[in-house]
Each structure stands twice: as structure tokens, then as C-alpha cells.
Amino acid sequence: MDLGYARVSTTKQDLDRQVDALTAAGVAAERIWLDKKSGVTTDRPGLTALLAFARPGDVIVVHTLDRLGRTVRDTLNLIHDLTDRGVGLRNLADPIKVDTANPADPMGQLAVVLLALFAQMERTYTVERAAHARAVATANGRRVGRPTVVDPDKLAYAAHLRDRGARIAEIVTKTGITRASLYRHLPPRTPQPLTAAVAPEQTAIALPEPGSQPAEQGPELPVVPKVHLIGRTARHGGDPLEAITWPTGYSPTCSACAHPTTGLEEQYARVRGLREPVVVALAQPCGCLIDDHAAALQAGAATT
């Protein structure tokens, strides 16, 4: 049984020409499935219903082969699927006639590949020409795409209100332009230079009198680390294990090698004469872990 299929790419095109050709070829009108969708989309309810209805021995008749799809892969995959199901395919208006229901015709099989390839090439050329036209228009300063819906006079008035300090909500109310359009089309505000009026006497810097002594400063307070109890040892009655964190910027000096410590990394040191390690934030480059050094650093006094 012959089954017809017709498709147009846009709603402006007419299906009547394809339907008339199918009925003239002997396809019953009630056996013709229609789609009014672009070949780019895969949602084709008419084609889906036709494929579900087709049975082995049926022949799908199309006006031209490109009605089945616009890519080589889609068209060939569909033809192969139909062949595996025992469903034939025949075109009417292509220069090379195709009839997959007749496997003894090698030229018809070759034509399937060639016609699908030609359709893909034509679509590729169309896309390339459209892209080239858009690039030329952009280079010549012409706007590409649909025209803006914002009135230039209203946009200029919105810019005037913005420069006078009006808020976006007020501009929307007075101009009728939506907030999104204002953010999209309103030109950026011109930055204003910052100036400050400073009296001449305020720019003078008070310098100490020659021979004057600097003001005495109070005694420097010792740097004391923060000690946190993190656990206790298993011996010696459960002596505390403490984590010591030094203030930022404090860098005590190792008494053994005179290298400064960073106070950022964690190392093990022995304090109070115990053999169990405690975590101390010393990060000594020299790696000195002597008891006296650890005790001095724990007390917060920089050693020399």
C-alpha cells in the first residue's frame, strides 16, 4: 500500500502542491500524513504517525527526498530503518528516481546517497551565505536582527533623567521603558572626576623642631600566644596536649640557629620536659625542637 508524506519548512509555504502530486501518483488522500515544521526540528508528529502506521510491504511516497530531512545522516538513517522494516520509499519530483522497494536497482540505491548529500550541501551553502551577509552588514555598521522596540526619544529622555540623579523606578514610570530595556540600551554614565577643596593651611605637615627628642614610648608588651587544649597524653597522669597559635606578624627567632620562625605551620616540640609531643605553631626552618627553645617560644619571649 502506498502511503504519502508531505512537509513544508515554514507556515508561509503551501502543502497543496505536494498533496496534489501525491494524489496524482495514486496515493489516497486519507493515506497522506502532513507536517508544517522546519526540517531542523526533530518534532514531526505527522512523520512519527506515518512511521508507526507503516507495515512491511508498504511504500512511502514523497514529493522530493529532502522532505524526509535536511541532513545526510537523518535521511540515510531513516531510509535504512525503513529498509530493515521492509518498507519501501519512492520519490516523485527529483531528477533521479528512487525506489528502495526495488533492491535490484543499484542506481536507485546510489541516488539515495547522492540526493541526500546534495540537500545537505545546499543547506550548508545557505547557512554560509546568510552568515556572510550578516558579517558584511555588521562591518558596514548596519544593525543585524530585529529592530529595537525602544523609542530613541524616550531613551534620550531616560538618559537625561538618569544624569539628573533619578532612580530607575522613577525613569520607568516617566518613560514607560521597562527596567530590562533600560539596563540594556541606556548608555553608561560618564564618570565625573573627583575634586576636593583643601585649604592651604591644611596641607602643611608638622615637622619636629631641630634638636627635639621624640616622645617617650611605653614599655613594649610581651607577645603572648593563644594556647588551645586539644587532648591529653596517655602517660604521666594525662598531661595536656596544647596547640599554640602565634599572633599575626610575630616571628620569634630560633635560639639554636638564629633563623626567624614564621608562626604559620605546625611542628612538634617538647615542653615542660615531657617526651610526649604537643602541637606548636612554630614552623622553624631549622627544625630545632630542643626543650629550652620550645619553652622560650611558648612563653612569648623572642630569643636571640
Active-site positions read 9
In single-letter form, the type of residue at position 231 comes to G
Spatial distance between the Cα atoms of 304 and 301, rounded to a whole number of angstroms: 10
CA atoms 260, 265, 267, 270: torsion sign: positive
Question: Distances in Å between the alpha carbon of 260 and those of 283, 286, 302?
Answer: 9, 9, 10
User: What letter would DSSP give residue 200?
Assistant: G
Q: Which residue has the cell 625542637?
A: 289
CA angle 217, 223, 228 (to 5 degrees): 155
Backbone phi and psi for residue 301, each to the nearest 5 degrees, phi listed first: -105, 125
Strand pairing class (32-35; 2-7): parallel
The upper half-sphere exposure of residue 36, i.e. CA atoms within 13 Å in the direction of its Cβ, equals 8
User: How far apart are alpha carbons 230 and 241 in whole angstroms?
Assistant: 6
Tell me how long the chain is. Answer: 304
State residue 102 phi and psi, 5-degree precision: -115, 85
DSSP secondary structure letters along 230-294 = EEE-SSTTT-EEEEEEPPTT---B-TTT-PBP-S-S-EEE--TT-SS-EEE----TT----HHHH
